[in-house]
Every structure is written in C-alpha cells, then in structure tokens.
Amino acid sequence: MGYIPGMSHLVPLRRDRLARLLAAALASATLLLGAAACGDDEGETSRAVSATEHNDADVDFAARMLQHHAQALSMVDLTRERQLDPEVQRLAEQIRTAQAPEIETFGDWLTTWGEEVPATMRDHAHAGHGGGDVSDSMAGMDHGDMPGSMSEDDFASLEDASDAEFQDRWLELMVAHHEGAVEMARTEQDEGRYRPAIELAASIAESQAAEVETMRGLLAE
C-alpha cells in the first residue's frame, strides 16, 4: 500500500480505539456469564433433590393427587353401565390401571413421612356414606383447591346424563380433570425435593397430557 500524506497519524488512533472496544466487549461478556453462573448456582442450591428427604411441596403433591386420582377412578366407575365407543372404554380402563396403584404409592409416602392420609370420596362411598350415588359420596368434602377437581354437581350431571349425552360429558370433564393433574404435577417438578415424587410427577404430566390430546380428538370426531 502506498503512503497517504497526512493520514499516517490516524492509523494508531484507529487501532487504539478498536482495541478499547474489543476489551470493553470482552469485559461485558465476562460479567454477564458470571452473573448467569451465579444465578444457576443459587437455583441449584436452593432446592437440592434428594432420594430420601422430602419437603412441604412433596406432602402437598401426594395428599392432593391422592384425592384427585380417587375422583378420576370414581369417574371411571360411572362408565361401567354405559355404552361407550371402544376407544373411550379403553381409555377409561387405562386410567384405572395407571392411577389405582399410584393412589397406593401416595398413601405409602404420606404414612412413611408421618403425615395424615386424607380421606377420599371413594372412602366415603365404601363406608356407605350418602346413599348409592357417586355424587353423594362427596358430601362434606372440600376439593375446591385442587385444579380440575369435580364438584358434586359435576358428578350428578354425569349420573343423570342420558346414554347419548354421557360419553361426551365424561370426556369433557375428564379433560378438565387431567389438565388439573398436569398442573399439580408440574408444580411438584418445580418445587418438590423427594426424587421419587418428582419422577412420578413427570410421568403423570407426560401421560395425562397425552390422554388429554386423545380425549380432545375423540370429542372432535
């Protein structure tokens, strides 16, 4: 390159400016990475997952999901005397097969932790409370704080539905019920400490979200 009169003094100035800009950018990137690393460390140390220890979120998850599953099994019970499409019948039995043993697991955890195992509407029904209707077994029970929980009126609407109306009504209510279970499971994944409970929550969230998609498809047919 040829010499340009009057311009040679600008070259070092440009080089110095470029060097300063690169140094400033590198310093900023280092600070950002350091802050992110500190945030990650704090997130990990604030909730250490354990194979043996549990926290209040685990207790809340086990107690509420036990009651929630009991409602789902009572909904499945209502399908026994109804004419359903084969796909819906298979889904109902799939729900029973998955959730019945999980109820036992939740009860075992609560007992091991020295926590009270909550009464469910199925306990009331088996004890002969409230007569023969499933909705009557909810008398005096408060499930209002459980996402997707069914009310006495919801159960009564299922019991009173005609055969033509029953299947769609059952699917609609089960979709809402499953969505509530997924919400509770994700809360446990975010806040729980007991690893087996967190792992079961992940399984529930995945399986019930898939069943919601199946039920929505059946409703759309």
Provide the pLDDT for residue 123.
78
pLDDT of residue 215: 98
Low-confidence ranges of the chain (pLDDT < 70): 1-46, 124-144
Check: CB of residue 125 under 8 Å from CB of residue 137.
yes
- The Cβ of residue 169 has, within 10 Å, a number of other Cβ atoms equal to 15
Task: Please give the Cα distance from 204 to 216 (Å, whole number).
Answer: 18
Q: What is the pTM of this model?
A: 0.74
